[in-house]
Amino acid sequence: MNIREAKEEIARSVAIYLDKNEFGEYNIPYMKQRPIFMVGAPGIGKTAIMEQIASELDIALVSYSMTHHTRQSALGLPFIEEKQFGGKKAMVSEYTMSEILASVYRIMEESGKREGILFLDEINCVSETLAPAMLLFLQYKTFGNRRLPEGWVIVTAGNPPQYNKSVKEFDVATLDRLKCFTVEEDFSVWKPYAYGNGIHAAVIAFLEINPEWFYSIRTTVDGAQYVTARGWEDLSRAISVYEKKHFPVDRRLIGQYITDTEVAGKFGIYYDLFQKYQSAYQVEDILQGKAAENLVERAAGAGFDERISLLGLILEKLNLRFARDVNQEAVLERVVRSLRQIKKQTGAGRAVPPAGTKIVGFESAGADTDAMWYQMLEKQCGEIRTERSRKEAANSLGLKLRMEYRDTLALLEKYMAECTDEKKPGKPFQRIKKAFDAGVKTHQNQVQETKRFLENSFDFMEHTWGKGQEMVLFMTELTASEDSMLFIEMWGCDSYFKYNQELLIYDVHRNLQREIADLGLE
């Protein structure tokens, strides 16, 4: 299976393991909950999906790479304890708490979450001295004489033997107690993750043209040369910062992340071309519907690689706007909940929906003071920080939610400043309402501009290439991006629905689903 299917399978397993009956008992008894064991090449994204699952299920996550552990750190240190058996004293070996189990209990205390995932990576590469204790843990969920607390699901991962000389095969008795599956690399599945995490457009476009270079590990006379999903992501982030600081992106930088010299060299050449395309094509003019005719003619006559690069440049600009607008909508919704709560406590007015937006605003109707609003806003900020800290402690705070918390706090702190500005007239509620309405208006204008840019992109595609493979690819990439689909779902796009119907993308998906149902596979 691919990494997306693995994520879905693990999420389902965690969900059924944590499902309880009306008496609060787990429907699948704790000791019958088989640990999950996924085998996949290094850098394929196994750790990344665990973070996503924990965030989406709102549970805690503890991660460890088992190759870094000794028997003592995983099992605990032995000590002698005096005990009574049948009225006689005996000296018995006990163990201190395992470092791994101690981390679970610490996160439970810091995050307040009683349920979570214990993810143990490279489980089949442990040392000879640790291997017996590891097998015992997989079978009985016990390190030394201490058991993993109930409510914690064990997920493990390992490398295939061709990628790691330290791999040890599990015996049948152990495998029969695990849920096992193999994960394979797949660029088309990685793409939605790439769009959602801001992977550089040059990387996505390069791999779109050369998907066979997304992942490879080969042995040469100079040693192992490899390209992994992790390598592409880390290179992408380095390139973005290099560009920001105007540092040259050269072969030395690329080779630090992409060790396959052939792939690194080809990407270096492509990156230079990509930069030229970026200069030659005025993407902002395309988005604004002002593309010059000579630019359209060049794009129409361009080769496949250049067309894909131009699509990547357009999608990069659009995806930044999609992410911004979707995030701002979530921020305003969170802020308005906070303001509603304060308004209710202060009696400052009643909520009404302002014209032209889904966000609920306010009208002033009551006495309020600067000090009261400042204290209430400060309290709301404190609650949001506490909520964020608990998610951070639980390792379940994803990138999008982190940005949402950050921007929400910035907006509430801005309103706190309104309460301390003695130069501004009116009650604090009126001033905050005015600032909030101005923010909503700015957000509405940005959304309308993004919609216009998206429509202009469709017009450029049809005018330049018609309804051929470029339009199909553009539609496919929009559908692959979570932010673009959320944007279209919330605010619509006439051209997207028009071309979607004409190109039958959704119809094909529905027909496949219907065929699967007819075969009884769902």
| Strand partners of residue 470 | none
| Strand partners of residue 2 | 184
Q: How is residue 197 annotated by DSSP?
A: T
Extended beta strands in 265-411, E state: 349-352, 361-364
Q: How is residue 25 annotated by DSSP?
A: -
Domains with residue ranges and CATH for the chain: 3-184 (3.40.50.300), 324-446 (no CATH)
**Nearest-angstrom CA–CA distance, 125 and 485:** 41
- Provide the phi-psi class of 356: left if phi over 0, else alpha when psi is between -120 and 50, else beta: left
Q: What is the 3-state secondary structure (H, E, C) of 92-160?
A: EEEECCCHHHHHHHHHHHHHCCCCEEEEEECHHHCCCCCHHHHHHHHHHCEECCEECCCCEEEEEEECC
Q: What is the pLDDT along the chain (522 residues), one digit of tens a residue?
A: 888 888 999 999 999 999 988 888 889 988 888 999 998 887 788 888 888 888 888 899 998 888 777 666 667 677 777 777 777 888 777 767 778 888 889 999 888 889 999 998 888 877 777 778 888 888 888 887 788 889 999 999 888 877 767 777 777 877 888 899 888 888 888 888 888 888 999 999 999 889 889 988 877 777 778 898 889 999 999 999 999 999 999 999 999 999 998 999 999 999 999 989 888 888 999 999 988 888 888 988 888 888 888 998 999 899 999 999 999 999 999 999 888 888 777 665 444 344 344 444 444 434 457 788 888 889 999 999 998 998 888 888 888 889 999 999 999 999 888 787 766 766 777 888 888 999 999 999 999 999 999 999 999 988 998 888 888 888 888 888 889 999 999 999 999 888 877 665 545 445 545 555 555 544
Predicted TM-score of the model (pTM): 0.76
Assess contact for 280 and 298: CB atoms under 8 A.
Answer: yes
**Nearest-angstrom CA–CA distance, 284 and 305:** 21
Assess contact for 39 and 180: CB atoms under 8 A.
Answer: yes
| Strand partners of residue 364 | 349
Assess contact for 393 and 312: CB atoms under 8 A.
Answer: no
Assess contact for 311 and 473: CB atoms under 8 A.
Answer: yes
